[in-house]
Structure 1
Amino acid sequence: MKVEQIYTGCLAEAAYYIESEGEAVIIDPLRETQPYLDKLEEEGAKLKYIFETHFHADFVSGHLDLAKKTGATIVYGPMAKTEYDIHSAKDGEILKVGKLSFEVLHTPGHTLESSTYLLRDEEGKDYALFTGDTLFLGDVGRPDLAIKQGSLTKEDLAGLLYNSLRQKIMPLADDIIVYPAHGAGSACGKNLSKDTWGYLGDQKKTNYALRADMTKQEFVEEVTAGLTPPPQYFAKNAMMNKAGYESFDEVLEKGAVALTPDRFEQLVEQEEALMLDVRTPQEFAAGHVPGSIFIGLKGQFAPWVGALITDINQPIVLITPEGSEEEAVTRLARVGYDNTLGYLDGGVAGWAEAGKEVATIKSVTAPQLAEKLAAGRVETILDVRKPSEYLAQHLEAATNFPLDYINRNMQKLNRYDTYHLHCAGGYRSMIAASILKARGFDNLVDVTGGWGDIEKTDMPKTDYVCPTTLSQDLIDEAVSSVL
């Protein structure tokens, strides 16, 4: 028996490869299929099944392409309705892979079709649970993503989740390994652990949602409290996973095309293509194509693309580090942004050599900001971190302006004012600066190093409050104030 977790940090997502006697199953694959095909060839195995734990909302699964290339059967749990052929498994159904067996446990709550796969080893012993978004380490799946299905509310789904956990999962043995679909950084839950696997017994002891004495009403109240609106692309990705999508190979072929500066500019004008710069914050600040937006590959790239680029069909042209062109197209496609038209050949240097204008963004260090603040030469400091981060501790002179809601709140700013922006480390603040600059805000200054460097200065700050002790009502109030 071979069980391998394939973890993708950008999405905080885990896919799984399980093999026995030359037969394999892959659970919750990402969009690009080649890594899985390479793995199958390396192991000399035939893919029998592709298990989907539910209709994913935070990424586009690779199940369709993978099935076409291998002949494997796509398996969902009960209540899954798709526009392509699947095996809709029954609750309690047993599926064999080599000498292994998987029992399908229907565990609705995160979504109606959500299912958990219980792996039994060659001896028939319960070995591992592939829980999808039903059970995470430290949390459970949010119950508000499927509320448009009929007349269900998030409270209704939370009630279903309570029953699923207590009737299907908690009665199982403590030594069973829990393999969830996500870890810390995913928006599919509120309090996910950084660990990517653990034991069920430990979750029964430490996961707030699995308290033995927890009533159903308490569970519903705690699981639904403090849920911020899901990223706008979630519903669109879920629909792609249900209805189908363009072949990833075609998306990559179309998107990984070198564009001369003139052709690049032509596509921006004729196709209204968005210019997406995926280099580092420092490189973007030093020189970028005017009007381009920064979202760097070395960060939470795909989730921020999905949160901030509201049209999933938006034509996109890329400015990338040399050699990262295919990576950028791939990571866009993972969250359903399939309309990449090419990348700027030669990057910003080639753009400048063609005689075209290059823009910059001013930057200051945290000590320099402290000097300017003490001298009264700072108009407004925008802290673009999440409300919970801001409430934990912030500069007394700063205003919370979360990047998550920048498109909704931009009208609150004055284009003629000067804004100093910071986040935790410099990634999100450069995203915010690029969006504002593209919208006509010219007086922007990025604080390099972000809160990590600001903490070390003597600028007046609020008292530190541990984020885990923050009142949920306080967080809810802060979130609502920026919507």
Structure 2
Amino acid sequence: MNIEQIYTGCLAQGAYYITSNGEAAIIDPLREVQPYLDRLAKDDVKLKYVFETHFHADFVSGHLDLSKKTGAPIVYGATADPEFDAIIAEDGQTFKVGNITIKALHTPGHTMESTTYLLLDENGKEHAIFSGDTLFIGDVGRPDLAQKAADMTQEQLAATLYHSLRDKIMTLPDETTVYPAHGAGSACGKNMSKETVSTIGEQKKLNYALRADMTEQEFVNEVTDGLLPPPGYFGMNVAMNKKGYDSLDDVMKKGKQALEPNAFEVAAEESGALILDTRNPKEFYKGFVPQSINIGIDGGFAPWVGAMIMDVNQPILLITDEGREEETIIRLSRVGFDNILGYLKGGFDGWKVAGKEIDTVNRISPEEFAQKFDKETSKVIDVRKQSEYAAQHIEEAYNKPLDFINDWVKDINPDEHFFMHCAGGYRSMIAASILEARGYRNFTEIEGGFAQIEKQEAIPTSNFVCQSKTLAK
């Protein structure tokens, strides 16, 4: 028996590849399935089942393409109702994979179809659970994502999750390994650990939601406290996972159309497509195609695309570093953005050579900011999360998290200059590009973000408070 966690940092997501005696199972696969097919061929094993822990909200799973290309059936837990052929496992139903057994444990609460898969070794011993979004390391799944579908309040879902954890998971042996679907950085929980593997025993000791003396009401109160609104694209990803989606092969064929600058310009005007520039912010600010939105491929790319663009049906035209076009399309598809119309041939350099109009962002160094900053008159907007701001910030700075830019942008006075920063420059450049695309230009973005600003003695900052005490999210 072999268990491999395939972790994708951009999504903070764990898929699982399990083999035993010539057969394999894959749990919660990513959208692009070729790496799985290559691995199956290399190991000379047959994929017997594709297990899904629930209808994912934060990414589009590869279950459909993987099933079509291998013939392996898709398995969901009790109460799931996908609009395609799948095995709907009853609570306690077992599946043989080589010499091991995988048992479906219906654990509703995060969503009503949520299922934990218990792996029994060749001797029938409880070896590991694949807990999906039911149990994370240090946290549990948020209970507010399935309210409309389940016709339940988040408090009712939390109460359901309380019993799932105590009746199905906490009763397992302490040495049972826990393999969750997500780690720190995912929006599917509040405050997950950076660790991606644990045991039942460790979680009983360390996970606030698994305290032995915790009452149902205490659990409900603590799990629902401080929940931020889910990203706007979550519901659309659920629908794609439940109803089906285009094959990634078709998405790639459409998206990999290289457009000369003139054709790119025409396509943008005629289609109303969003121009997404995925270059590093350090390059973007120096020059870009007007109206472009910058979300760097080397940061938390896919989740930020989902949070900022939200509508997965939005037509998109790409500007990437040369050679990274295919990677970008794949990473967009992971969160359901399949409507890619093509990319700018030659990248931004091709646009410049063609003599096309360019735009820039007014970015200054932390040292320049320290010279220009006036405590009495300077307005500063901090686009970090509230928990980061609460930990430490520039005195009198306004906290306007990037996540909610669509809400606060309308409150900006275009005649009043402001400085803007995040933690390191990635998020503030996203914000800068959005603001400029909407006609706001009276601002200055600060390179390096708060990590560099706090080193400037001339800039007054609040006293540092440990983020763990501010309910970091």
> What is the SS of the residue equivalent to 1:436?
helix
Deviations 1:275-300 (A, max 9, x none): 00001001101111011000011111
2:245 matched residue in structure 1: 245
SS of the residue 2:251 aligns to: helix
1:417 equivalent to 2:416? Answer yes
| Structure 2 counterpart of 1:383 | 382
Other structure's SS at 2:363 match? strand
Contact 1:317 1:340 in 2 (8 A): yes
Question: How far off is 1:367 after superposition?
Answer: 2.0
| Counterpart secondary structure, 1:109 | coil
For 1:289, give the aligned amino acid. V
May I ask how many residue pairs the two structures share in their alignment?
472
Cα offsets for 1:56-103 (capped at 9, x unmatched): 000000000100000001000000001100000010111100001011
Q: C-alpha displacement at 1:379, in angstroms?
A: 3.5
Q: Distance in 2 between matches of 1:232 and 1:65?
A: 25
Q: Deviations over 1:295-315 (max 9, x none)?
A: 011111111111110321111
Partner of 1:353: 353
Deviation at 1:419, TM superposition (A): 2.3
- Per the TM alignment, residue 24 of structure 1 is displaced from its structure 2 partner at its CA by 0.3
In 2, the alpha carbon distance for the partners of 1:469 and 1:60 equals 33
2:150 & 2:2 partners in 1: Cα distance?
40
Q: Could you tell me which residue of structure 2 aligns to residue 368 of structure 1?
A: 368
Aligned to 2:140: 140
- 5 Å-filtered alignment, 1:203-282, equals 203-282=203-282
Alpha-carbon distance between aligned partners in 2 of 1:274 and 1:245, rounded to the nearest angstrom: 21
Matches within 5 A, 1:78-477: 78-374=78-374, 379-458=378-457, 459-470=459-470
Structure-2 change in CA distance of 1:302 and 1:362 (3 Å): same
Q: Distance in 2 between matches of 1:444 and 1:431?
A: 14
| Amino acid in the other structure paired with 1:388 | S
Distance 2:374 2:228 in 1: 36
> CA–CA distance in 2 between the matches of 1:455 and 1:118?
48
C-alpha distance in 2, partners of 1:443/1:152? 45
Asked if the contact 1:437/1:444 (under 8 Å) is kept, the reply is: no
For residues 251 and 465 of structure 2, the distance between their equivalents in structure 1, rounded to whole angstroms, comes to: 46
CA displacement at 1:238 relative to structure 2: 0.4
1:42-65 superposed Cα distances (whole Å, 9 cap, x missing partner): 101110000000000000000001
Q: Which segment is superposed worse, 450-459 or 230-239?
A: 450-459
Normalized against structure 2, the TM-score is what?
Answer: 0.98
Q: 1:403 corresponds to which letter in structure 2?
A: L
* CA–CA distance in structure 2, aligned partners of residues 232 and 310 of structure 1: 5
> Distance in 2 between the 1:439 and 1:381 partners?
19
Q: C-alpha deviations, 1:389-414, integer Å up to 9, x for none?
A: 11111101311111000011111002
The root-mean-square deviation of aligned C-alpha atoms, in Å, is 1.3
Specify the code of the residue in structure 1 equivalent to 2:38: D
| Amino acid corresponding to residue 79 of structure 1 in structure 2 | T
What is the aligned partner in structure 2 of residue 64 from structure 1? 64
SS of residue in 2 equivalent to 1:149: helix
Amino acid at match of 1:3: I
Aligned 8 A contact 2:231 2:310 in 1: no
Contact 1:7 1:13 in 2 (8 A): yes
Contact 2:112–2:150, Cα closer than 8 Å, also in 1: no
Cα deviation for residue 417 of structure 1 reads: 2.6
**Could you tell me whether the CA contact under 8 Å between 2:158 and 2:220 is conserved in 1?**
yes
Matches of 1:46 and 1:371 in 2, distance apart? 65
* SS of match in other structure, 1:461: coil
Cα distance in 2 for partners of 1:150, 1:158 equals 12
Once the two structures are TM-superposed, the CA of residue 375 in structure 1 deviates from its matched residue by: 8.6
Quote the Cα distance in structure 1 between the aligned partners of 2:396 and 2:365.
16
Residue 467 of structure 1 and its aligned partner are, at CA, apart by: 1.9
Q: Is the 8 A contact 2:416 2:442 kept in 1?
A: yes
Q: Distance in 1 between matches of 2:201 and 2:425?
A: 39
Change (3 A) 1:244 1:375: closer
- Tell me how far apart the structure 2 counterparts of residues 444 and 340 of structure 1 sit (CA, whole Å): 31
Cα distance, 1:150 vs structure 2:
4.3
CA distance in 1, matches of 2:355, 2:465: 51
- Give the aligned residue type for 2:119: L
Distance 2:210 2:375 in 1: 53
| Whole-angstrom distance in 2 between the partners of 1:2 and 1:337 | 33
Return the alpha-carbon distance in structure 2 between the equivalents of residues 268 and 357 of structure 1: 14
**Matches of 1:417 and 1:437, distance apart in 2:** 15
Q: Structure 2 unaligned segments of length 5 or more: list them.
A: none
In structure 2, the residue corresponding to 1:148 is in which secondary structure?
helix
- Equivalent-residue separation in structure 2 for 1:418 and 1:42 (angstroms): 59
Which secondary structure state, in structure 1, belongs to the residue aligned with residue 262 of structure 2? helix
On the 8 A contact 1:104/1:118 being kept in 2, the answer is yes
Supply the AA of the counterpart residue of 1:420.
F
Q: Is the 8 A contact 1:416 1:441 kept in 2?
A: no
TM-score by length of 1: 0.96
Supply the distance in 2 between the matched residues of 1:287 and 1:419 (Cα, whole angstroms).
21
Comparing 216-225 with 394-403, greater Cα deviation is found at 394-403
CA distance in 1, matches of 2:176, 2:18: 16
Q: Is the 8 A contact 1:209 1:219 kept in 2?
A: yes
The question of whether the paired residues in 2 share the 8 Å contact of 1:52 and 1:75 is answered with yes
- Report deviation, 1:416: 2.8
In structure 1, how many angstroms separate the alpha carbons of the residues matched to 2:447 and 2:385?
A: 18
Structure 1 counterpart of 2:95, one-letter code: L
Q: 1:375/1:108 Cα in 2 relative to 1: closer, same or farther (>3 Å)?
A: closer
* Separation (CA, whole Å) in 1 of partners of 2:151 and 2:134: 21
Larger deviation, residues 161-170 vs 418-427: 418-427
**TM-aligned CA deviation for residue 432 of structure 1:** 0.3
Q: Provide structure 1 residue ranges, at least 5 long, that are not aligned to the other structure.
A: none
* d(CA) in 2 for partners of 1:301, 1:308: 11
